[in-house]
Amino acid sequence: MDAFGLLDRECRSEVNPTELRQQLAVLGLRLESEDLTLVFHRYADTDTSMCYTTFTDAFLPCDEYYCRLLIGKRLSYH
């Protein structure tokens, strides 16, 4: 939830590739637009936006132990 909250700065419960790229750049992570296109093509419902549920499906660990640790974590950003 922390990661999605940092990326969804307008609190719309979804991010698009451009917003994701911009927010990652603010955090010091530079990705090529082609890489983001591939991520959205693979995981998102559409190539233009990714909702919170889709984001968690794509980025939560597959290991049940670590997944539970992250799901039960409180928000830590402001």
- Quick one: pLDDT at residue 70? 75
Task: Give this prediction's pTM.
Answer: 0.65
Q: Under CATH, which number does the domain 2-71 receive?
A: 1.10.238.10
- Name the residue with tokens 């093509």: 41
Residue 7, token pair as written in the block? 């990326």
Contacts of 20 (CB under 8 A, 6+ apart): 7, 36, 50
- Quick one: pLDDT at residue 77? 59
- Secondary structure of residue 1 in the 3-state scheme: coil
CA–CA gap between residue 34 and residue 46 (Å, rounded): 15
User: Where along the chain do its domains lie?
Assistant: 2-71
- Quick one: pLDDT at residue 52? 87
- Low-confidence stretches of the chain (pLDDT < 70) are 75-78
